[in-house]
Amino acid sequence: MKYIKVPQKRVSIDEILKSERQEFWNEVVCREYVNIGCDCRDDTFSEGNINWIELGDLRVSEAYSSSQKMFRGSNHIASETERGLIVNLHLSGIAQFTQAGTQHTLLPGDIVFNETTETCQLDFDTPFHQLLVQIPKSALLEEEIKSRHVFYAGIKIPGRSSLGEVIYNFLTAVIMQQQLSRDDSQEHLRQSKQITELIMLAAGNATISKTRLPNNIVKTAAKAKVERYIDQHLTQTNLTLTSIAKANNISVRSLHKLYEGTETTAYRHIKHRRLQLAASLLSTKNEAITISMLAQLVGFNDLPYFSRSFKKLYGIPPSRYRERCLDDRSGPFHSDSISQSISGCSMS
C-alpha cells in the first residue's frame, strides 16, 4: 500500500546521528509518543518516521520504520495516566501481534485493537508501515455506553473483510481531506466522533461471526471510498459522476444515494473540493499561476463560472483572495464563509 502522507506534525530520525538513532527512537517515540518499549534489530536503523494529526480527542498517525520488536510491559502500564485504545492498521510488511492471550499474524490491510492497559508485543521482522488511531478513555466511555463492548484487547479485523475495507477507506478519506482543508476545530471534533463510532461499531461486529454489517457502515465505507477517488482525480476536467461511478463499480443512481440525507450532493461535493484546492493554491503566493490557469488546474473549464463560484464560497473573487494572501501584514485570508456547509455551494 502507498504511504498515506498524514499531514502536520512529524518526528523523524533523518537528522539524528546514526549512533544515536535507536536511543532517540526509544526515548522520544516509544516512550513519549506511545509509551512502549522497542528493541531494534538493525544496527544501522536506517528509517524511522511518524507523522500525525490531532482530530478532536483523537490522534491519527502514520509510522514507518526499520524492523524492530515493540512491547508493553507492566512498567509501561503502571505509568499510564489513563486507559486508552490504539487501533493499528497494518499497511506493509509482516508482523506478529500478541495481547490478552491471542496471537495474530498481520498482513497488509489487517487491523488489530491494542488496549493500553494490557501487555502486548509487536514483532516486525522487516521494515513496516502502519496507520494508528489513538483513542483516549473519555472518547471510549461515550461509545461504550451505547455498544456495551468494554474489552477490545487482541481483536483482529482481516484487511480483506468488509470491516477492514470500511475502516481503511474512511480513515484515508479523512486524512486526504485534511491535506486540502484549513484548521477547523469543529470539523475535527465531528470527524473524531465519526471515527470513534465507526471503530467501536466495527469492534462489536468483529466479535460476532457471520454478522451482516449495518447498512449505515456499508454506506459510510462506500461514500469514503468514492470521496477518496474524487480527491485523487480532482484536477481532471473530465471527472464526471459517470466516470466516478464506473471506477467504484456502482451505478450513478447508487452514487446519488450515498448523499441522501446529507446537506450536499456528489456534484456539489466535487465543486466544493475543487474550490478548496483553488484557495490552497492561491495562498501559496505563486503569482506565476494566473487565475485562468488556476481554474483549469483545479478542474474548471469555464473561468467566469469558477470566479462566481469562488466568490460565493469565500466572499471575495479569487484575485482579491490572492492579494490578501500576498499581503504580509494580514497573512493568508480567512473568510468567515470558509466553514459554511457544502450545501451553500449551489450548482448554478
Residue 81 lies in a domain: yes
Q: Which residues of 163-195 are buried (b: 16+ CB within 10 A; e: fewer)?
A: bbbbbbbbbbbbbbbbeebeeeeebbeebbbbb
Residues 177 and 275 in one domain: no
Residues 224 and 301 in one domain: no
Residues 32 and 167 in one domain: yes
Q: Is 234 helix (H, G, I), strand (E, B) or coil?
A: coil
Interatomic CA distance for residues 55 and 99, integer angstroms: 27
Residues 83 and 136 in one domain: yes
Residues 253 and 320 in one domain: yes
Residues 191 and 138 in one domain: yes
Q: What is the CATH number of the domain that holds 183?
A: 2.60.120.10
Residue 3 lies in a domain: no
Residues 33 and 165 in one domain: yes
Identify the domain containing residue 315 by its residue range: 235-344
Residue 4 lies in a domain: no
Residue 2 lies in a domain: no
Contact by Cβ (8 Å): 70, 37: yes
Residue 259 lies in a domain: yes
Residues 277 and 213 in one domain: no
Residues 37 and 152 in one domain: yes
Interatomic CA distance for residues 293 and 283, integer angstroms: 15
The rounded mean pLDDT for the chain is: 78
| 101-107-110 Cα angle (round to 5) | 70
Type of residue found at 305: Y
Residues 270 and 315 in one domain: yes
Answer with the one of 196, 230, 264 that is the final residue of a domain.
230
Answer with the one of 200, 230, 260 that is the final residue of a domain.
230
pLDDT of the chain along its 348 residues, tens only? 444 555 556 777 777 777 788 788 877 777 667 778 888 765 667 788 888 888 888 888 888 888 888 888 888 888 776 678 899 999 888 899 999 888 899 988 899 999 888 899 999 888 888 888 988 877 777 665 455 555 788 888 888 777 787 788 878 777 766 655 556 677 777 778 878 878 877 777 765 444 455 666 677 778 888 888 898 888 888 899 999 999 988 899 999 999 988 889 999 999 999 999 899 888 875 677 889 999 998 999 899 999 999 999 999 999 999 888 777 444 444 433 333 322 333 333
Q: What is the CATH number of the domain that holds 300?
A: 1.10.10.60
Residue 91 lies in a domain: yes
pLDDT at 329: 40
Interatomic CA distance for residues 282 and 1, integer angstroms: 31
Number of domains forming the structure of the chain: 2
Residue 337 lies in a domain: yes
Q: Which residues pair with 88 in a beta bridge?
A: 112, 132
Residues 60 and 124 in one domain: yes
Nearest of 10, 6, 50 to residue 175 by alpha carbon: 6
- pTM assigned to the model: 0.61
Task: Name 306's Cβ contacts closer than 8 Å, sequence gap at least 6.
Answer: 278, 295, 298, 300, 318
Residue 261 lies in a domain: yes
Q: Which residues pair with 132 in a beta bridge?
A: 61, 88
Answer with the one of 230, 248, 274 that is the final residue of a domain.
230
Question: Taking the CB of residue 151, how many other CB atoms lie within 10 A of it?
Answer: 13
Residues 277 and 179 in one domain: no
